[in-house]
Amino acid sequence: MINATKKWIFLKISGALLVPLMLWFIINFINIYDKNYVDFISFFSNPLSKFLFCIFIINAYFFSALSISEVFEDYVTEDKIKNVANKLLYISAVVIPLITIILIN
């Protein structure tokens, strides 16, 4: 399979997975927005909520990294700059969710 086809398939799958996770997050965020600190902590202490939030963060960064790399591919003509930008993008797409997940636990 061509690399561009794989990237397109991953974009579609991660985008489709992102919709229900985003709805879940928005609904729960509305519910805990006006609550106190203890309720907020109890939300993230729930293993299901913690798991779904981690999947949401990983998927969101994966989707954004794939999307932004497509912009680099289309609009950056210099290959060295494009490669460095993509590598920095993919590193940040791994490091930022990892730090977020570590801080939640």
* Structural domains counted in the chain: 1
DSSP string, 9-35: HHHHHHHHHHHHHHHHHHHHHHHHTTS
Contact 88/25 with Cβ under 8 angstroms?
no
The pTM for the full model equals: 0.86
> pLDDT tier at 105 (50, 70, 90 boundaries)?
confident
The torsion of the CA quartet 48, 52, 42, 23, rounded to 10 degrees, works out to -120
Tell me the pLDDT tens digit for each residue of 44-98: 899 999 999 999 999 999 999 999 999 998 999 999 999 999 999 999 999 999 9
Domain of residue 65, residue span: 3-104
SS3 77: coil
- The CATH number of the domain where 43 resides is what? 1.20.1300.10
Helix (H) or strand (E) holding 2: none
